[in-house]
Structure 1
Amino acid sequence: MKLGFVGSGVITEAVVTALLKSRSDISRIVVSPRNVQVASRLAGMSPLIRIGRDNLDVVDASDMVFLAVRPQISEEVITALQFRPDQHVVSLIATLRHETLAEWIRVPAKITRAIPLPTVADLQGMTAIFPPDARVADLFSSLGPLIQCRERAQFDLVAVASALMGTYFGMLEICEDWLVGEGLEREHAGEYLKHLVHGLSRTMMTSDAKSFTDLRHEHTTPGGLNDQMFDIFRRHGGAAGLQDGLASIFNRVEGSGK
Structure 2
Amino acid sequence: MNLRIGFIGGGNMAEAFIGAFVGEELILPSMVCVSDVNESRLKELQEKFGVKTFKRNVDVVLNSDVIFLAVKPQVLTSVLEEIKDTVTAAQIVVSMAAGYPIRKIEQVIGDDKKIVRIMPNILVKVRKGVIAFCENKRLLEEEVERIKRLLEATGKVYSLSENLFDAFTGAAGSSPAFIFLLIEALSDAGVRVGLSREISKEIAFQVLEGCASMSRDEHPEVLKDKVSSPAGTTIEGLSVLEEKGARFAFIEAVKRATERSKEISKLVEEM
Instruction: Give yes or no for the alignment of 1:231 onto 2:242.
Output: no
Give distance in 2, aligned partners of 1:28 and 1:74.
Answer: 26
Instruction: Name the CA distance, whole Å, in 1 between partners of 2:125 and 2:145.
Output: 21
Q: Could you tell me which residue of structure 1 aligns to residue 223 of structure 2?
A: 215
Aligned to 2:21: 19
Q: Return closer, same or farther for 1:107/1:134 CA change in 2, 3 Å cut-off.
A: same
Equivalent of residue 96 in structure 1, options 68, 85, 100: 100
Counterpart contact for 1:22–1:143, Cα < 8 Å: no
Kindly state the Cα deviation for residue 165 of structure 1 after the two structures are TM-superposed.
0.6
Residues 133-181 of structure 1: CA deviation (Å, up to 9, x unaligned):
33422432455543222x2234443222111011111222233345446
Q: Which amino acid aligns with 1:197?
A: L
Secondary structure of the residue that 2:116 maps to in structure 1? strand
Tell me, what secondary structure is at the counterpart of 2:94? strand
Among 34, 40, 62, the residue aligned to 1:31? 34
* TM-superposed deviation, 1:112: 1.0
Aligned length: 252
Unaligned runs of 5+ in 2: 136-140
Tell me: CA distance 1:94–1:69, structure 2 relative to 1, closer, same or farther (3 Å): same
Q: 1:46 to 1:154 in 2, by over 3 A?
A: same
- The separation in 2 between residues aligned to 1:251 and 1:42, in whole angstroms, is 36
2:159 is aligned to 148
Question: Which 10-residue stretch deviates more, 176-185 or 81-90?
Answer: 176-185
Alignment-derived partner of residue 196 in structure 2: 185
Paired AA for residue 62 in structure 1? S
Match of 2:63 in 1: 61
Task: Return the offset for 1:85.
Answer: 3.6
Change (3 A) 1:239 1:27: same
Please state how far the C-alpha of 1:111 moved relative to its aligned partner: 1.5
**Partner of residue 177, structure 2:** 166
Mapped partners of 1:176, 1:153: distance in 2? 37
Is the partner of 1:221 in helix, strand or coil?
A: coil
Distance of 1:235 and 1:146 partners within structure 2: 36
Q: Counterpart of 2:185 in structure 1: which amino acid?
A: I
**Partners in 2 of 1:118 and 1:106 — Cα distance?**
30
User: Could you tell me whether the CA contact under 8 Å between 2:80 and 2:105 is conserved in 1?
Assistant: no
Q: Which runs of 5+ in 1 are unaligned?
A: none
Q: After superposition, where does 1:50-129 map in structure 2 within 5 Å?
A: 50-71=52-73, 73-75=74-76, 78-79=79-80, 81-83=82-84, 84-86=87-89, 87-105=91-109, 108-120=112-124, 124-129=128-133
Q: Which amino acid aligns with 1:82?
A: I
Contact 2:99 2:266 in 1 (8 A): no
Give the conservation status (yes or no) of the 8 Å contact 2:130–2:156: yes
**Contact 1:160–1:246 under 8 Å retained in 2:** yes
Question: For 1:67-111, what per-residue CA distance to the aligned partner results, in whole angstroms no more than 9, with x for missing partners?
Answer: 22344x344653553131423211223432222333354674222
Contact kept? 1:78, 1:104, Cα under 8 Å:
no
- Distance change >3 Å, CA 55–CA 173, structure 1 → 2: farther
TM-score between the two structures when normalised by the length of structure 1:
0.77
RMSD (Å), alpha carbons: 3.4
Distance 1:146 1:164 in 2: 17
Equivalent position SS for 2:148 = helix
1:250 maps onto 2:220 in alignment: no
Structure number with the higher helix fraction is 2
